[in-house]
Chains A and B, each alone.
Chain A
Amino acid sequence: MIEVKEIRKRYRRRNVLNGVSFTAAKGEITCLIGTNGAGKSTVLKAIMGLTPVSGGTIHIDGQTLMPELYEKISFVPDHLTMPAGMKLSDALRFMADFYDSWNEKRADELMKFFRLEHAVKIGSLSKGTAAKFSLVLGLGQDSDYLLLDEPFSGIDLFSREAITEVFTSDLIQHRGVLLTTHEIGDMEHLIDKAVLLKDGVVSQSFHCEEMRSEEGKSVIDVMREVYRA
């Protein structure tokens, strides 16, 4: 389980995170929701050790982040993080070289599923294709947790459908997924848990199914209550 406790972050004289706490369990899809600038991406970066926090703790399966944990947790940022001059095949080789948890067979299957060509250079990929390849790099690892930052941002309908299909496949089933998205409409039926960020704190955290059955509200209904209040 990913446990985020009271994390704080100040950026340009503004408290971006003001004591954020939530958990994301294995086998569940947890969605971090918030308006622009709410600090969703910062939370993901903090979990991955890509930005320091001024307070609070983050534990992954009870351990604080250490290099070995990058075998267990993979992060798909909102942009591709491989040099533009690399070919896709070079990027796959890079992953295979550095990660013991890299699953070459699965990566090949994903390349075929997304119809990606190995010889193409990363710099020439369109935004949608880059998002698909980012997902290949994230899912190609046999990791327990997968963090995704805006996986649908700025990509076309068909690419979005292809990525959504991955979320309903067994590629995701046994992992803990923590994602941020603006396009909650596309994801609502897929997510298990929603965490709503407002003013640098978690304003609501609930399991979507429970919310639907107990209070008859969808995630969007709760969002309206929180963000329009």
Chain B
Amino acid sequence: MNRYLKLVHMEIHRFRWILIAMMGITAIFQFSGLIWTLKKAMAQFEEQKIQGSDTRKYFDSVPDTLTFEWAMSNTQMWFILPVLLCIAVLSLYVFFIWYRDWMGRHTFIYRLLMLPTARHNLFLAKITALLLFVLSIVAFQLVMLPVQELVLKLVVPAELRSESHIVDVININQALVELIPRQFEQFFYIYGLGTIAVLMLFTAILLERSYQRMGILYGILYLAGCVLVVAAPFLYFGLDSSIIPLYPMEIYVLVLLLFFVVAGVSVWLGSRLLAKKITV
């Protein structure tokens, strides 16, 4: 197998327990939230049936028939909290994926730098692994949705529920609507920009690892420089698009190009630092 793929495999293997734990926590939160909410809704139904009048014991209003969309809109926090936790863990891991190789008595970075493969493969393997972690969590969330719908069908009797469309279910949840893009363009924005941000951070980390104390300053300057480059058209023309002497499509292409430049420079500089400047 190609050594780059072996490195990706190794990075996934090292993170597997944290990934499984994040998926486990997400599943526990979401299923318990869903079941608890459905049970409460069912209890309110029962109460309404016995008392023969409206009650607002748990919810202001419960529709005549429950839908997955309704359940999702009433379990927002149960879905958002684990998503935020996953985002926090993965954000910290952007740093830890590098620093863990320098940490402790057994500094693994020695071995990684002495592998008979181009060092840019280390850089690419780490970014690939991070992307795969994000996509696997999103994929896990997608797989859970039909299972959650099945749970709803098991908890709520057929006469008390009606069908809802999966797109409406995703749209109603504030976390899912951001995580699961419905158009390729949106996918490209969310995950593409995220990837570029991680590439910039990787290069800043490698600047710190290569130049130690001065490296922190270089890293911060590099990040500031990248933000400046991307924001350059707006800084130059101003934020009011009506006075920018460019068509909206031209502005879009210009900004897109600048993002590609930042991504390219980050990969090139990061690889060069690994090959020529890194110190253990």
Q: Which residues of A approach B to under 8 Å, CB–CB?
A: 45, 48-52, 67-71, 74-75, 77, 79-84, 94, 97-100, 122-123
A70 touches B114 (CB 8 A): yes
Q: Apart from A48-B114, A75-B114, A82-B108, list 17 A-B contacts with CB within 8 A.
A: A50-B113, A50-B278, A50-B279, A50-B280, A51-B279, A52-B276, A67-B116, A70-B115, A70-B116, A80-B106, A81-B107, A81-B108, A82-B106, A84-B106, A97-B6, A98-B3, A98-B117
Classify chain B's interface size. 20 to 34
Chain A, Cβ-Cβ closest to B14: A83
Please report the C-alpha to C-alpha distance between residue A39 and residue B260 in the assembled complex, in whole angstroms.
42
As a 0/1 sequence over residues 132 to 170 of chain B, the CB contacts with chain A under 8 angstroms (1 = contact) are 000000000000000000000000000000000000000
- State the Cβ distance, B105 to closest chain A Cβ, in Å: 6
B118 sits at the interface (CB 8 A): yes
Please report the C-alpha to C-alpha distance between residue A94 and residue B14 in the assembled complex, in whole angstroms.
13
Please report the C-alpha to C-alpha distance between residue A81 and residue B280 in the assembled complex, in whole angstroms.
11
Chain A, Cβ-Cβ closest to B10: A94
**When A and B form their complex, which 9 residue pairs have the shortest distance between CB atoms, in order from nearest?**
A81-B110, A70-B116, A81-B111, A51-B279, A50-B280, A71-B116, A83-B108, A80-B106, A70-B114
Looking at A45, A75, A82, A83, the one whose CB has the most chain B CB atoms below 10 A away is A83
Q: Is the interface of B mostly helix, strand, loop or mixed?
A: loop
17 A-B pairs (CB sep. < 8 Å): A49-B113, A51-B279, A52-B276, A52-B277, A52-B278, A52-B279, A67-B116, A79-B105, A79-B106, A81-B106, A81-B110, A83-B14, A84-B104, A84-B105, A84-B106, A94-B111, A98-B116
Question: What are the residues of chain A within 8 A of B14 when measuring CB–CB?
Answer: 83
A98 touches B106 (CB 8 A): no
Question: What are the residues of chain B within 8 A of A75 when measuring CB–CB?
Answer: 110, 114
B279 touches A67 (CB 8 A): no
As a 0/1 sequence over residues 113 to 134 of chain B, the CB contacts with chain A under 8 angstroms (1 = contact) are 1111111000000000000000
Question: What are the residues of chain B within 8 A of A70 when measuring CB–CB?
Answer: 114-116
Question: What are the residues of chain B within 8 A of A80 when measuring CB–CB?
Answer: 105-106
Q: Which residues of B in the span 1-54 have a Cβ within 8 Å of any Cβ on A? A: 1, 3, 6, 10, 14
B108 touches A98 (CB 8 A): no
B116 touches A100 (CB 8 A): yes
Question: What are the residues of chain B within 8 A of A49 when measuring CB–CB?
Answer: 113-114
Known A82-B111, A97-B6, A98-B6; judge A68-B116 contact (CB<8 A). yes
Question: What are the residues of chain B within 8 A of A67 when measuring CB–CB?
Answer: 115-119
Looking at B3, B105, B106, the one whose CB has the most chain A CB atoms below 10 A away is B106
- State the Cβ distance, B102 to closest chain A Cβ, in Å: 11
Please report the C-alpha to C-alpha distance between residue A169 and residue B182 in the assembled complex, in whole angstroms.
66
